[in-house]
Amino acid sequence: RPGVSTHAGVPIVSPDGSLDARPGDDSVVFVLAQYPVADPLARYRYVVRRAQEPPQPGPAFDANRLVASHHGYFTDEAAMAEASVTRIVSGGEARALPPVWLAHAEVDDNVPTEITEAFVSAYGKAGGRIERVYFPGARHGFMQQASADTDKSVALMRDFIGRM
């Protein structure tokens, strides 16, 4: 959100790769979102609940690490609520609704489907154009490893950009 004091002075990477903290054009032409945490408070409450569960076998999901990450980034739950893109869009506070391409992994322990679906619904109801692509069997972070899903995601993002 432009003008929010917590983001003041955060440098922006310019097209030439340099860092720029000067005021400038804050418009966004499109958004590519890979398994986004669109509602930090909902995600925080989810991982707090998950931290109470016994450890599960299989790929590592560390709810306590995610709880600590929220505490490290946000001052409190009010700040998490304030940062919720879903809340901003639902409340009519968004200054613009650029087209969004969003990937969601089926097996996402970090960002459950309900959080993503709430954002997709809010964005559409607000009049925004959003394309959600579901990746069956994929896990959160799948784009960090070479795979057929990664290749598919890159191809779909390129196609989306080409239509802008």
70 contact partners, CB below 8 Å, separation of at least 6: 40, 43, 44, 47, 80
- Summarize pLDDT for 35-93 with one digit per residue, the tens: 999 999 999 999 999 999 887 766 678 889 899 999 999 999 999 999 999 999 999 99
The residues spanned by each domain of the chain are: 5-162
- Summarize pLDDT for 86-136 with one digit per residue, the tens: 999 999 999 899 999 999 999 998 999 999 999 999 999 999 999 999 999
Domain 5-162 has CATH 3.40.50.670: no
For residues 128 and 95, give the distance between their C-alpha atoms in angstroms, rounded to a whole number: 11
Q: Phi first, then psi: what are they for 80, rounded to 5°?
A: -65, -45
**Torsion sign (Cα): 32, 123, 41, 61:** negative
DSSP assignment of 33-92: EES--S-HHHHHHHHHHHHTSPPPSSS---HHHHHHHHHHH-SSHHHHHHT-HHHHHHTT
pLDDT at 164 over 60: yes
Pairing of strands 130-139, 100-107: parallel
Task: Return the pLDDT at 53.
Answer: 85
